[in-house]
Amino acid sequence: MTAGPVPAGPQTLTAIVCAYTLDRWSDIEAAVESLRRQTRPAEEIVLVSDHNAELLERARAAFPDVVCVPNAESRGLSGARNTGVRTATGDVVAFLDDDAVADPAWIEHMLEAYRQPDVVGVGGRVVPLWRAPRPAWFPDEFLWVVGCSYAGLPTDRADIRNPIGANMSFLREVFDRVGGFDATMGRLGKDAAGCEETEFAIRARRSDKGRIVLEPSALCFHSVSPDRVTRRYFRRRCRAEGRSKALVSALAGAEAALETERTYVRRTLPRGVLRGVGQLVGGDPAGGARAWTIVEGTALTAGSYLLARLRRRRSS
């Protein structure tokens, strides 16, 4: 008995970069250049300017081969992404942060993961590109704070609930079925909120019981600026994550919203604490600092989540 032909899967991909400030211009240039140098070229590269006319004008002059458009929805990352989706013509729409650079085989690996016919979304691995020395107290378990892949994620291709927003893609047809990213969620400028990709991914999976997979070989490098390696930012980001997860719970249900977090809290975080304590006992003070950071980050995130849920109940 001979095996049947391998499904071809989607053949074209539109790469979308959403930008909002000229302060990141050198990062935007690097992101676009990384997309130009792909082993499998993009169908098109789309740059969405989030209500910044000066940035849009400069981008159109600097990138004549890029489709540069203004955000046609309300200000914020969700609206900018939705604008990019409506502009896209590829079978797959992929999102790369404006302060990230894609590995040369990024598109090739993204499309390869769609050869499985039930896959509706693919996320890649996000490696931090530290622009300032990484603090010794910063644990791998909380790299999500700076938008990167963290300890506890699969290291081989595997099903996941949602991808990391800096490096993700979906079939374009999924947006036709379930709508776009929720404009009440997501980042607005330098605001630390997020989780719009989590809520969208839950809808995408429910629409036709499709799968979202992590493809670690679809790699990008995400810039971590000096302002994001401070305790102040760490705490602010943890609190924002708790508030965002509370909103996802209200929209999609707590069971789906916390599906990944339950395993993360039960298994990944205790292991990280024990490892840090073991390093402290072994003579490494930074191990104790990392263990404490895991405890603090967990408490801040969970406390913010519970407080936001309580406020919602009182206001309803």
What distance, in Å, lies between the first and last C-alpha atoms of the chain? 61
Q: What is the mean pLDDT of residues 154-166?
A: 94
Q: Which domains, ranges and CATH numbers included, belong to the chain?
A: 13-237 (3.90.550.10)
pLDDT-derived band at 8 (thresholds 50, 70, 90) equals confident
Given a cut of 70, whether residue 252 has pLDDT beyond it is: no
Q: Are 140 and 150 in contact (CB under 8 A)?
A: yes
Angstrom distances, CA of residue 36 to CA of 63, 91, 103:
11, 18, 11
pLDDT tens digits, one per residue of 165-221: 999 999 999 999 999 998 876 555 555 556 789 889 998 988 777 899 999 999 999
**One-letter identity of residue 294:** I
Burial of 4 from C-beta contacts in 10 A (0-12 / 13-18 / 19+): exposed
Q: What is the spatial distance between Cα 127 and Cα 137, in angstroms, rounded to a whole number?
A: 18
pTM of the model: 0.91
Bridge partner residues of 220 (DSSP):
102, 126
Indicate the length of the chain as a whole number: 316
Q: What is the mean pLDDT of residues 287-307?
A: 96
What does the block give as tokens for 35? 């997309």
Residue 117: partners with Cβ closer than 8 Å, 6 or more residues away: 7, 9
Given a cut of 60, whether residue 7 has pLDDT beyond it is: no
Average pLDDT, the chain: 91
Higher pLDDT residue, 210 or 52? 52
pLDDT-derived band at 247 (thresholds 50, 70, 90) equals confident
Q: What is the mean pLDDT of residues 33-59?
A: 98
What does the block give as tokens for 306? 């519970």
Q: Is the dihedral of CA 19, 25, 28, 29 positive or negative?
A: positive
Q: What pLDDT does residue 3 have?
A: 47
pLDDT tens digits, one per residue of 235-246: 999 999 999 888
Q: What pLDDT does residue 33 have?
A: 98
Beta strand spans in 58-152 (E): 67-70, 92-96, 100-102, 119-130
Q: What pLDDT does residue 276 have?
A: 97
Q: What is the mean pLDDT of residues 39-65?
A: 98
Q: What pLDDT does residue 193 have?
A: 59
Q: What pLDDT does residue 311 have?
A: 85
